A and B are shown apart, each in its own frame.
Chain A
C-alpha cells in the first residue's frame, strides 16, 4: 500500500515547494568547494608544469604522457608503455583489494556475532567496535607503528618469550602497510554488515534448516545472498579509502611500498613537485573510484528490479 500507511514514516510533503531552497546551502558549499575544485584540478592536469611547483597556463598532454608512456631519458626515443606509475596503481589496487578481503574475513564473523547477541550485550559490543572508528586515524596509525617497530613492544615481547632471536623487521614492509590498512578500515566493514544482519529474519534460517540445509549450507545459500548489500557496502567503504590511503603507507611503509596517495602527495611537496602530473594521477584515481561506485550503483538498481 502506498502513501498514507498510518503510523509509518510516509513520504511527506509538508514543506512542499521548499526543497530546492533548503538544499541551496548544501549545493553551494559542495558545488563551490568540491565540484569546482575537482573541475579545476581536471584542467590543471592538462597544464604545463612550473619548476618550483605550480603551473604555467599552457595546455598540454604532458602529464598523461608522462604517466602512461616512456620516451627514454631525453624524451627522444619511440614511446613504449611506462610501467612505473601503472605499477604503483596496480600495487595500490592489489593492496586495497587484499585489505578488503582481510577486513571481510574478520569483519563478517564479528558483525554476525554482535548482531546475534541479545539487545543489551549487542549495544555494548557495538560500542566497543565504534570507539576505534571515532579515534583519530593518525593516532591509530602512529600507535601501530610504535607497536611493531624493530625495538617496539611486540618485538620485545616476542624476544622475551624466546619465540625469535632477532627482532622482526616489520616496519617499511608490505606487510606493515597491509596491517595498517586492515586496522584503519576494519570498523567500516563491520558496521554496514552488522546493520544488514540485524535486519535479517532468522525464521528464514529455520525454513532452510527445515528443508534439510546444514548450517554452512544455510549460510552460503540463504544468509549470504540476503545480507549481500551490507557486505558490498562494507567492501566499498574499505576499498575506496584504502586505495587512496596516505597515512598507512607513508608511516608504516617505505620506498618499496609506495602507494597512489604518496605518489600524489609528493607532487605537491617541495621542489621536486609536478602539479599537473599530481593532478593527472588524481584524475586517474578518481576515475577508478567513480567506476567502482558506478558499477555498484548499477548492480544495486538492477537488484531492486
Chain B
C-alpha cells in the first residue's frame, strides 16, 4: 500500500525554518556572548567576565546612558499609555458605534503612520515643529511617538474587540446598564488582554524608535537608540554590546509577557 501523502508537508520547509531562525538569532546570540568577553579587544575571546556590565553602570559613559535610558523609558511609558487610550476610544468607535460619516477615512487615518515611510515622518515632524516655533526636545519626541504608536496599539485592541461578541454589552444594557456601565463593567474587563497587548506593543515600538527621535530630539537630548547610534558611529565597543544584551533581555521579557497575556485571554473565553 502506498504511504499516505501528508498534504501539509513539503520537503525542505523545516530546514528553511531553521535557517530562518538561525539568521534571525545568530547575530543577537553572538553579541550576547561577546558582551561577557573579558578581553578589551572585541574580537578575541578572553574569558568570561561581567566587567562590561559593570562599565555600563559605573564607567565613564554611565551617566550618558543612564539619562538616555530614563528618557527612553519615560517616553515609552507615557507614549504607550496615551496611544492605548486613544486607540481604545477609536476601536470602540470603529467596532461598536454603527455606521457614520467618515468611518472609512478614519480607519485609513489611524493606519496612516504605518504607511508613511519613517524617514518621511521624521523629516515632516522636524519641519513642522520648526515652522510652528516649537522647541525640539523631550516633548516633541513624546508627541511624535504617540502618533506612530497609535496604529500599533489599535491593531490588537481592535482585533480583540471584534472577537468579543456584542451580545455581552447588549445583555448588560438589557439588565439596566447605561452604555457607559456596559463599557466599564463588561466590555472593558473582556478587553483586558487586547489592551495589554496593545500597550506592550506600543511601548516596545516607542523604545525601538531611532529615526524619528533622531530628527526631533533637539540638541543634547538623547534616548537609548540615539545614544547607542552615536556611540556605534565611533566603532562597536564592548559596553555597547552589554547594553544591547540588556535591551535584548527587556524585549524578551516583554514578548514573553504579551505571549502569556495572549494565552490567558484565549483560555478564559
Contacts and interface: CB of A to CB of B under 8 A. Distances in A.
- Tell me if chains A and B make direct contact, with any CB pair below 8 A: yes
Interface of A: 6-23, 25-27, 29-31, 33-38, 40-41, 44, 54, 106-107, 109-110, 112-114, 116, 123, 125, 127-132, 134-140, 142-147, 149, 151-153, 156, 182-183, 186-187, 190, 202, 205-206, 209, 215, 218-219, 240-241, 243-244, 246-247, 251, 260-261, 264-265, 268, 275, 278-279, 282, 285-286, 289-290, 293
In this complex, the interface size class of chain B, counting residues with CB under 8 Å from chain A, is 35 or more
B124 A247 contact: no
Contacts of B121: 34, 37-38
Contacts of B202: none
Interface string B251-265: 110111001000100
B186 to A, nearest CB: 10
Given A16-B98, A142-B244, A241-B118, A282 B109 contact: no
A246 B118 contact: yes
B155 to A, nearest CB: 11
Residue among B7, B90, B121 facing the most chain A CB atoms (10 A cut-off): B7
A113 B10 CA distance: 8
Contacts of A13: 96-99
Main secondary structure of the interface of B (DSSP, over half): helix
B106 interface: yes
Interface string B25-50: 11110110010000000110000000
A109 to B, nearest CB: 4
Main secondary structure of the interface of A (DSSP, over half): helix
B147 A131 contact: no
Nearest to A213: B7
Contacts of B30: 143, 146-147, 153
30 contacts: A9-B164, A9-B166, A10-B165, A12-B170, A19-B98, A22-B90, A23-B93, A23-B106, A25-B85, A29-B146, A30-B150, A33-B147, A34-B112, A40-B124, A54-B130, A109-B16, A110-B13, A134-B252, A134-B255, A136-B208, A140-B28, A143-B31, A152-B43, A186-B24, A205-B8, A215-B7, A219-B10, A244-B119, A260-B119, A282-B123
B119 A14 contact: no
Nearest to B25: A132
B92 interface: yes
B144 interface: yes
Residue among A40, A131, A151, A260 facing the most chain B CB atoms (10 A cut-off): A131
Contact of B23 (A9, A109, A183): A183
Given A15-B98, A17-B98, A142-B240, 11 more contacts: A14-B97, A23-B93, A34-B112, A41-B128, A129-B20, A129-B21, A138-B229, A143-B27, A215-B5, A282-B123, A289-B117
A109 B17 contact: yes
Contact of A26 (B9, B17, B20, B150): B150
B103 A282 contact: no
Contacts of A30: 109-110, 112-113, 147, 150
A265 B119 contact: yes
B208 A137 contact: yes
B268 interface: no
B12 to A, nearest CB: 7
Contacts of A29: 86, 143, 146-147, 150
A26 B86 contact: yes
Nearest to B244: A139
A136 B207 contact: yes
Given A12-B95, A16-B97, A268-B126, A138 B120 contact: no
B43 A240 contact: no
A203 B240 CA distance: 52
B127 A44 contact: yes
A12 B263 contact: no
B13 A132 contact: no
A12 B98 CA distance: 6
A136 B251 contact: yes
Nearest to B169: A14
B185 interface: no
Give 5 nearest A-B pairs by CB, closest first. Answer: A244-B117, A13-B98, A12-B166, A37-B128, A19-B97
